[in-house]
Structure 1
Amino acid sequence: MTRVFLRPDDLRDLVTEQLGSDRRLVGLDRLAGGSKKGVYRLRLDDQTTVILYLWAAGENYWPPTPVVPDDPFTDASGAELFAVNHAALTAVGVRTARLLALDRDSRYLHADLALVEDLGAVTLEALMEQDPAAAATPLSTLGDALRRMHTTLGPHHGKLSAIAQGEAPQARSTEDIVADRALGHLDAAAVRDARLADAHERIADHVRRLRQAVIAREEYGLVHGELGPDHVLVTPAGEPAMVDIEGLTYFDVEWEHAWLQMRFGAAYPALRPVDLDLHRLEFYRYAQVLSLIEGPLRIADTDFPNRQWMLDLAEWNVTKALAALPFG
């Protein structure tokens, strides 16, 4: 598809009505990194800036996939999820961008949008690489925020908006959802990679063995869902603030920590995690490896601008998936 991105003239009414008739847009920068929504920095004539999130079809690089009703990680995008999740994080004292305006009625553009505080351009990931000493305090503060989230418990798993509306189905356990997701990712990835096709049954058996070692439970914490140091901005005041919050859900905290261990690496212990079920953690870690093969291979079939990065990510995880298999 031919993608047409925002131009300054598209935002004249939005700026006037939401930011004031005495302010004028003098610059518009489309920020890199988003794959499901557009992220733009609006530069105003009073030297201030705000961020625009735009949930439009032309901003979403992901090809459609079947929506599984009780899988909270499918179709985790949109202004409604953003608004509900933003309120939930604010309620438990987790720093995120202050919400300035929300439009779910396409008043200004032919899509939902949100205006939020500009937290700056410094990610925790960059700070960890460039100045590990300066990253120590934001890491510790982030660990405090995660513990508040992971000890905010609920009796049901699912997207917060669905739970609030009484629509979150509970037919399957979280571990069964993850097992089915993992096997689905395996099936889809095996079509694209001969090594996975050859090892399909061994990988599927390994998923089932990991699933069988998990003891059932029915208490779920508030998790971001895909939190890496690139999804944390460090404000000029040194505060870590979570972004890309549409995937927030009630789920097993081991899902979050499997991801955190992978993304934070040697810095992970600085987050001082809550107690975890090690069997569940190992199972979820392997399921995420399969997800990080299937998803990148799928988006690499589109016009996503950083296709090679996705292919390299998939290759890295193919190696991990095969290396984890027992011999024989």
Structure 2
Amino acid sequence: MTRAFLRPDDARDLVAEQFGADRRLTALDRLAGGSKKGVYRLRLDDETTAILYVWATGENYWPPSPTVPDDPFTDASGAELFATNHAALAAAGVRIPRLLMLDRDNRHLDADVALVEDVGAVTLERLMEHDPAAAATPLSMLGDALRRMHTTLSPKYGKLAAITRGEAPQTRRTEDVIVDRALGHLDAAATRDARLANAHDRIAGHVRLLRSTVTARETYGLVHGELGPDHILVTPAGEPVVIDFEGLAYFDVEWEHAWLRMRFGDAYPVLRPVDLDPHRLELYRYAQVLSLIEGPLRIADTDFPGRQWMLDLAEWNITKALAVV
């Protein structure tokens, strides 16, 4: 598809309303990395900045795919989820960008938008790679924030907005949702890779074996869904700021920790996790491996600019999926 991104003229009325008619937009920079929404830095003539999120069809690179109906991490994008989750994280004492404006009525653009505080461009990932000493305090503070999230409990699982609307019926166990999700990812990925097609039944059997060791649970913690060090910005004062939280849900904290362990590597113990069920953790870890094959292969079929990076990510996880079978 032909994608038309925002131009400075598109945001001038928004800037005038939010910052005053005497303020002028001097630059509108589209930031790299977003695949479901557009992220833009607004630069004003007094050298202040803000970040604009835009949920528009042309900003979403992900093609549709078969989904599990009660999977809370499906379609985790949109202004409603952003607003609900922003409030929940603030209530849990988690540092997030300050919300300046939310527009779901298309008053300024033909899309839902949110304007938020610009906390800078330094990610925790960059600090961990290039300045580990500077990363130590944000990592410790992040661990504190995660424990506040993971001990914020609910008797229901699902997207927060769906729970609020009474649209998150608890018809089955969370581990069964993840098994169906994993097998769906396997089916889809096997159509794109012959190695997975040949190993399909062995991989599916391994998923079911992991499921058989998991016992039932009836309380769920607040989880980000895909929290990596690239989803943490670090302010000049050293505060870790959580972003990209539209996937926030009440779910098993093992889902979060399987992801955290993979993304933070050697730094993971600094996060000092809450008590975890090792059997549930292993099922979720393997399910995420399958997700990180199917998703990257699917988006690599589009015009996403990071196609080769996605193919490399899928290849890395194909190796991991096959290693155990």
Please give the range of the TM-score, normalised by the shorter of the 2 chains.
over 0.9
Check the 8 A contact 1:84/1:160 in 2, yes or no. Answer: yes
Deviation digits for residues 16-56 of structure 1, max 9, x if unmatched?
Answer: 11222121100110000000000000000111000000000
Deviation digits for residues 79-123 of structure 1, max 9, x if unmatched?
Answer: 000000000000011001000000001111110000000010000
Check the 8 A contact 2:226/2:247 in 1, yes or no. Answer: yes
**Structure 1 residue runs of 4 or more that deviate by more than 6 Å after TM superposition:** none
Check the 8 A contact 1:221/1:253 in 2, yes or no. Answer: yes
Tell me the amino acid that sits aligned with residue 185 of structure 1.
Answer: H
Which residue in the other structure is 2:252 paired with? Answer: 252
Which residue in the other structure is 1:111 paired with? Answer: 111
Which residue in the other structure is 1:153 paired with? Answer: 153
Tell me the amino acid that sits aligned with residue 141 of structure 1.
Answer: M
Which residue in the other structure is 2:12 paired with? Answer: 12
Tell me the amino acid that sits aligned with residue 165 of structure 2.
Answer: Q
Distance in 1 of aligned mates of 2:205 and 2:69: 25
Check the 8 A contact 2:67/2:181 in 1, yes or no. Answer: no
Which residue in the other structure is 2:300 paired with? Answer: 300
Which residue in the other structure is 2:181 paired with? Answer: 181
Alignment partner of 1:106: what SS? coil
Deviation digits for residues 155-187 of structure 1, max 9, x if unmatched?
Answer: 000000000111112112110000000000000
Check the 8 A contact 1:67/1:75 in 2, yes or no. Answer: no
Distance in 1 of aligned mates of 2:22 and 2:270: 46
Check the 8 A contact 2:68/2:181 in 1, yes or no. Answer: no
Deviation at 1:301, TM superposition (A): 0.3
Which residue in the other structure is 2:42 paired with? Answer: 42
Check the 8 A contact 1:69/1:169 in 2, yes or no. Answer: no
Structure 2 matches for 1:206-217, cutoff 5 A? Answer: 206-217=206-217
Deviation at 1:68, TM superposition (A): 3.6
Distance in 2 of aligned mates of 1:2 and 1:18: 30
Distance in 1 of aligned mates of 2:314 and 2:82: 28
Check the 8 A contact 1:258/1:281 in 2, yes or no. Answer: yes
Distance in 2 of aligned mates of 1:255 and 1:187: 21
Deviation at 1:67, TM superposition (A): 4.9
TM-score, scaled relative to structure 2: 0.99
Is 1:64–2:64 an aligned residue pair? Answer: yes
Which residue in the other structure is 1:82 paired with? Answer: 82
Alignment partner of 1:192: what SS? coil
Which residue in the other structure is 2:138 paired with? Answer: 138
Alignment partner of 2:27: what SS? strand
The RMSD of aligned alpha carbons is 0.7
Tell me the amino acid that sits aligned with residue 6 of structure 1.
Answer: L
Check the 8 A contact 1:85/1:245 in 2, yes or no. Answer: yes
Alignment partner of 2:22: what SS? coil
Check the 8 A contact 2:66/2:184 in 1, yes or no. Answer: no
Check the 8 A contact 2:68/2:177 in 1, yes or no. Answer: no
Distance in 1 of aligned mates of 2:238 and 2:165: 36
Alignment partner of 1:287: what SS? helix
Which residue in the other structure is 1:291 paired with? Answer: 291
Q: Identity over the aligned pairs, expressed in percent? A: 81
* 1:228–1:163 Cα change, 3 Å: same
Aligned residues: 325
Check the 8 A contact 1:70/1:172 in 2, yes or no. Answer: no
Deviation at 1:64, TM superposition (A): 1.5
Check the 8 A contact 2:119/2:233 in 1, yes or no. Answer: yes
Distance in 2 of aligned mates of 1:269 and 1:17: 46
Distance in 1 of aligned mates of 2:160 and 2:217: 19
For structure 2, the 5+ residue unaligned runs are none
Distance in 2 of aligned mates of 1:215 and 1:49: 49
Deviation at 1:66, TM superposition (A): 3.9
Tell me the amino acid that sits aligned with residue 73 of structure 2.
Answer: F
Which residue in the other structure is 1:218 paired with? Answer: 218
Tell me the amino acid that sits aligned with residue 25 of structure 1.
Answer: L
Which residue in the other structure is 1:231 paired with? Answer: 231
Report the more deviating stretch, 118-127 or 12-21: 12-21
